[in-house]
Amino acid sequence: MRNLFISIFIIFPLLCFAASPTIREQDEIETVKQLIETTRKNLSGQEHLLNALIQFKKARLAFCSNPTSASLATSLVKQAMILSKELEAESLSYLFSSNFLSEVYFFNQVGEEALSHVQRPKG
């Protein structure tokens, strides 16, 4: 009888441990759910980046066809600012050439300079 008690005492924790994979499976399910949600957020951000990239390239093409147009220059600067923010938000600058990034950041800087002059209080 004593041996039976000792056997149960030893085996019972093992049985409880064997039941715990159900709990672990739930954790794994939550892990995959979180992975899917993160992937959705990343995809959404990357779609915003793609849209900003397309709009920037359209604005650049339009400006190149008429480089004396102030409205086209303004549009190009605005699109560069949007694209720059998207690149920063998504941390995907490493995917683009340094020449392209220099161009985007140049026009972004032009926009930031213009905004800083507009936002300064007069006095």
pTM for this predicted structure: 0.72
Each domain of the chain, given as residue ranges in start order, spans: 2-119
Tell me the three state secondary structure of residue 68: coil
Contact 55, 79 (CB under 8 A): yes
Q: Counting beta carbons within 10 angstroms of the beta carbon of residue 56, is it exposed (0 to 12), middle (13 to 18) or buried (19 or more)? A: buried
H/E stretch holding 16 reads helix 2-65
- What residues contact 93, with CB distance under 8 A and at least 6 apart? 87, 101
Q: What is the pLDDT of residue 115?
A: 87
Render each residue's pLDDT in the chain as its tens digit; 123 residues. 666 656 666 666 665 555 555 666 679 999 999 999 999 999 999 999 999 999 999 999 999 999 999 999 999 999 999 999 999 999 999 999 999 999 999 999 999 998 888 766 665
